[in-house]
Structure 1
Amino acid sequence: MIDVRIVEVVMVSSFLNSLVAALALLGIIRVNKKPNVMISTHSGMEEQSIGAELHLLVCLHNVIDVPCSINLIESCRGHGTFSLSVNTMHLIEYNERTAAQLLYRRDITHMLVGGEWKQISDAFEAYRSKVAFSMRHSTTISFFFNMYEDICGRAKEVDASMIVLPYHMLYRADGKMQVRNLAIRKLNQRVISHAPCPVGIIINRGLGGTTLRSAAHMSHNRNVLGLFFGGPSDREAVTLGGRLAEHPNISFTLVNFLFTRPNNRPEQARPRVSSNTARVRKSQQKSTPKLNSFAENEKALDQMFLDSFRGKHEKNRRVFYEERIVKTKQNLVATLQALDAECTLFIVGQGQSLAAAGLMMSTECPELGPVGDLLAHSYSSITSSVLVVIQSSSHKSFPHES
């Protein structure tokens, strides 16, 4: 009769053997990954010309993210002369299940794990075969706490213009948002803190449908709204919106929010000035200590950007410009809900100027900024998808659990 203690020892030894072997294999895999956190930052899309090549690093966790990812890529494709390079990255969490699958893969060249890996790979390969731009797919297997190293390293390697990450919540059929994995939120925060380029968080509410087939083509017109409140992230967001407007089936509207002061005059409502005049004003601000503040410099940069953007796209009949007056938080919420009715996708930055205007709202996800956070949650009654663009230099770190 076999001794129970001997059986227990054998089972424990087998488990430890498997765990050590899997960890060793993961270590070998990660040797070639360049995990170092990058210090240098991308200049941002704002600094690029209209015809410059756009490099996207689009990340996803599972099959449910594929339609939205492909649809967003398709939106960035533009016309025939538009330059686009795309890298997609399937993010797989390293855990006991994936460790076991890694251990029993004999061929290291086919070590990729997860029941959805082939579906995702095949979907992107099918889409890649129908487009003319460069597109490559890769997979990373890491613990969630250090997966940001792989993402940021890959972004640096491909000189990404923007990293696109899925939101940590999913949109349900009843219109509510449901948490998919809180570890994804912490991952997103770490990527934002260390990214060498702007980061986009996509809140998917049906962009591209729910099946892989529905994401293959964009057959109908889409209304994209860029919400501009001021600041570097908002400028990046609107710049990306201008890129999307190069697509023949996309119309883009820049909505410039103007805040009212006590004298009832809009804070940003002022005559348009030329770029040269704006540069002179900026130079004068530098020479005058009283005006040489971050807020004043940002206002000057915002005005220069708006003038430049409207000048660049004045011949594009799919680009529109609107101004909306905002007086209170309630007025802002009502305006966003009204815009939602005519929108497919919101593109928004972090709305840094809301604090100066006294309209800063409490946020559950500070990494999204007050407007992005409002648009992302169920209580806002927003039904459009949202892309929150975060300029890499605007946020260095966020409070999160270790």
Structure 2
Amino acid sequence: MTMTVISSTLVAIFYDPLNGRHVMGCRTVQHLEPQAEFRLVASLLDGEPVSLLLDLVEASGGGEQRPMCVYVLHLTEIMGRASSSLIAHKNKKGSIDGRQMDRLHNVFINYEQLKEGMVVVQPFTAISPYKTMHHDICSLVIEKNVHFVIVPFPRKETGANFEVHQAARSIIPNVLSQAPCSVGILVHHPITGFGQTVPLQYRYHIKILFWGGADDREALSFGGRMARHVAVTAVVLRFLPAVDREMDEDLLQDEDLFNEFKTEHAENERVAVEEVAASDVEEAVAVIKSTEKDYQLVIVGRRQAWNSLLTEGMDDWSESPELGVVGDILASSDFADSSFSVLVIQQYV
């Protein structure tokens, strides 16, 4: 079988992230029709835990008879000036050559077989320098009209030196600024390296943090989709400012979506909603830690509506600004002993 190879050099030349002609249809979870096919790019670097990504993908399908297509993208660094490439391991007829795939692809192909037609998996490999790897991700998003892309947040614990770690991290801001769809940054703590790999007795516990704004609305929409899965238990923490916000269009959208979420899941015993007051990040972190349980995933928007209250005094010590204020805290050493992963979401607007 002949693999499909797309030159990333050509993509870099012709790809214009601001050109509206590339964007077709809905590119967010919030605005996706309930029964429409959900198209997702799930990317992973070498050394990252495959099981965490697979468990997340299973939950994001929403269960029942909702079609989903997952484009599994293995990001592989190439050194020097060698030609970059984006390799498709499955042809249009669905034929694959297992000899050309690695463990990541094989895990997801086995998952596709387990789902018996409910999930279609399309395996890809991107071979390129870190500095241009976002072109591979964005070109796949455009070509496949993807709604959501998951990119890994490289951890220092993987053993890479500082320069390599920084180069791998550079993928994220480039994807955030150029991907024409919503983006989820997946962060794992050192002790969350082993997951379930979707066993028959699959169970997944998530927590959704909601302040408001477009990113938090996308996070709530993504978490709400996951909550439809019969094996997913969800807790939503809605943080309310100590001082009432002035009513504006953004706040109206927050209220509408939050009410829609509560109405949809009113009879769902696996979903709980809590509202808490917090005037700053310290109070919010205290609330998060006080309610910390055996969650596998915490979902939060990258930017929050009342952002000035959250960011005051925080910029000087932020280690990972690409994660936003709350995401940066959840990824920090303060939560190093936590067993959950973090999904930081930015909505495409």
- Is the pair's TM-score, using the shorter chain for normalization, greater than 0.5? yes
Aligned partners of 2:298 and 2:343 also within 8 Å: yes
Q: CA RMSD in A?
A: 3.2
Please say if 1:343 is aligned against 2:325.
no
Say whether residues 1:249 and 2:231 are aligned partners: yes
8 Å contact kept, 2:27–2:348: no
Q: Is the 8 A contact 2:207 2:237 kept in 1?
A: yes
Out of 233, 242, 250, the residue aligned to residue 260 of structure 1 is 242
2:150 is aligned with 1:161: no
- How far the C-alpha of 1:218 sits from its partner, in A, is 6.2
In the TM superposition, what is the alpha-carbon distance from 1:220 to its structure 2 partner? 4.5
Distance apart, 1:339 and its partner CA: 2.7
Contact 1:255–1:324 under 8 Å retained in 2: yes
TM-superposed CA distance for 1:329, in Å, is 3.2
Cα distance 1:385–1:30, how it changes in 2: closer, same or farther (>3 A)?
Answer: closer
2:62 match: 78
Cross-structure match for 2:248: 296
Cα distance between partner residues in 2 of 1:52 and 1:127: 21
- Deviations for 1:336-378, whole angstroms, at most 9, x for unmatched residues? 1123224221000024224243654332222211111110111
1:87 partner SS: strand
Q: Within 5 Å, which residues of 2 pair with 1:121-200?
A: 121-131=105-115, 132=117, 133-169=119-155, 181-200=165-184
Deviations 1:7-49 (A, max 9, x none): xxxxxxxxxxxxxxxxxxxx98447768613334554111123
Q: Report how many residues are paired.
A: 319
Structure-2 change in CA distance of 1:206 and 1:162 (3 Å): farther
Label 1:185 to 1:305 Cα distance change in 2 as closer, same or farther (>3 A): same
Structure 1 residues 230-286: Cα deviation after superposition (integer angstroms, max 9, x where no partner): 11000001100011112111111221101112xxxxx26xxxxxxxxxxxxxxxxxx
Note if 1:319 corresponds to 2:303: no
Match of 1:386 in 2: 342
2:329 matches 1:329: no
Shift of 1:75: 1.4
* Aligned counterparts of 1:313 and 1:72: Cα–Cα separation in 2: 20
Whole-Å separation in 1 of the counterparts to 2:223 and 2:29: 11
For residue 220 of structure 2, what is the aligned residue in structure 1?
238
**Relative to 1, partners in 2 of residues 1:64 and 1:358: Cα closer, same or farther, differing over 3 Å?**
closer
Q: 2:330 aligns with which of 355, 375, 378?
A: 375
User: 4+ residue stretches of structure 1 with deviation over 3 A?
Assistant: 27-35, 40-43, 205-209, 356-360
- Residue 94 of structure 1 and its aligned partner are, at CA, apart by 1.7
Say if 2:42 and 2:71, in contact at 8 Å, map to a contact too.
Answer: yes
Q: Label 1:333 to 1:116 Cα distance change in 2 as closer, same or farther (>3 A).
A: farther
1:61–1:116 Cα change, 3 Å: farther
What amino acid is aligned across from residue 282 of structure 2 in structure 1? Answer: Q
Equivalent residue for 1:365, pick from 297, 307, 320? 320
Counterpart Cα distance in 2 of 1:210 and 1:190: 28
Q: Please state which structure has a larger fraction of its residues in helix.
A: 1
Match of 2:17 in 1: 38
Whether contact under 8 Å (1:94, 1:143) holds in the other structure is yes
- Is the Cα contact below 8 Å between 1:206 and 1:385 reproduced in 2? no
Q: Does 1:59 align with 2:46?
A: no
Distance in 2 (alpha carbons) for counterparts of 1:243 and 1:324: 23
Cα separation, 2, equivalents of 1:237 and 1:353: 13
- Is contact 1:65-1:166 (8 Å) kept? no
Structure number with the higher strand fraction is: 2
Larger deviation, residues 361-370 vs 249-258: 361-370
Aligned partner letter, 2:16: V
Change (3 A) 1:79 1:208: farther
Offset at 1:61? 1.3
Task: Name the SS for the 1:256 alignment partner.
Answer: strand
CA deviation map 1:287-323 (0-9, x unaligned): xxxx8xxx82211111111112222222333222110
8 Å CA contact retained: 2:154, 2:169: yes
The 1:318–1:50 alpha-carbon spacing in structure 2 relative to 1, beyond 3 Å, is farther
Amino acid at match of 1:91: L
Same amino acid, percent of matched pairs: 26
Structure 1 gaps of 5+ residues are 1-26, 103-108, 110-114, 173-177, 262-266, 269-290, 394-402
Q: CA deviation at 1:124?
A: 2.3
Give the aligned partner of residue 271 of structure 1.
none
